[in-house]
């Protein structure tokens, strides 16, 4: 039997298509009454500078990993799809996938507007894919957003803390 650590599962959602940084956390291990996913929305204009800098850096690095689209062949025509990056998800803490962290993925759409065709795809970065500077940015985000999630959680259940 695997012992479950008492820690929140935390991930971030960020990107050009979102109006805010979304810090999401949950604790699904306290059955039957689980802590469902909670969301902290930080409007982009209010994201602290160091956090925004690291988010933007990782987002740019992930965008660079999007493969060039393949030409779409049609009768007597070829069209190169357009790429539209969407949401980056960064896993900050997840005891179920501990060996897979740091983990980040960027969803994007490969689109051919004239055909009204769009395909969603993603690029992923696992522990071996992060460069030294990318891992450092992830670590800074991990520390700061874990603190934000924990503070939000303690406000939610403070009166139930042991010894409170």
CA–CA distance, 164 with 160 (Å, rounded to integer): 7
pTM value is 0.89
> What sign does the dihedral 120-125-131-133 (CA atoms) show?
positive
The pLDDT tens digits along the chain (164 residues) read 455 567 899 999 999 999 999 999 999 888 788 899 999 999 999 999 999 999 999 999 999 999 999 999 999 999 999 999 999 999 999 888 888 899 999 999 999 999 999 999 999 999 999 999 999 999 999 999 999 999 999 998 888 777 65
Q: How far is CA 76 from CA 12, 72, 118, in A?
A: 44, 11, 21
Run of H or E including 12? strand 9-15
**Tokens at 138, concatenated:** 């992830």
Taking the domains of the chain in order of start, what are their residue ranges?
A: 9-160
* Residue 81 near residue 72, CB atoms below 8 Å: yes
């Amino acid at each position: 039997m695997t012992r479950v650590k008492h820690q929140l599962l935390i991930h971030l959602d960020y990107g050009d298509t979102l109006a805010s940084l979304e810090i999401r956390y949950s604790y699904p291990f306290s059955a039957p009454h689980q802590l469902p996913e909670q969301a902290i929305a930080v409007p982009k204009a209010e994201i602290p500078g160091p956090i925004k800098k690291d988010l933007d850096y990782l987002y740019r690095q992930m965008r660079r990993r999007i493969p060039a689209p393949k030409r779409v062949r049609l009768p007597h025509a070829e069209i190169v799809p357009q790429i539209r990056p969407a949401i980056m998800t960064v896993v900050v803490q997840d005891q179920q996938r501990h060996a897979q962290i740091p983990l980040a993925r960027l969803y994007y759409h490969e689109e051919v507007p004239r055909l009204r065709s769009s395909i969603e795809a993603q690029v992923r970065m696992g522990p071996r894919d992060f460069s030294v500077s990318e891992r450092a940015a992830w670590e800074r985000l991990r520390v700061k957003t874990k603190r934000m999630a924990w503070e939000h959680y303690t406000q939610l259940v403070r009166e139930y803390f042991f010894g409170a």
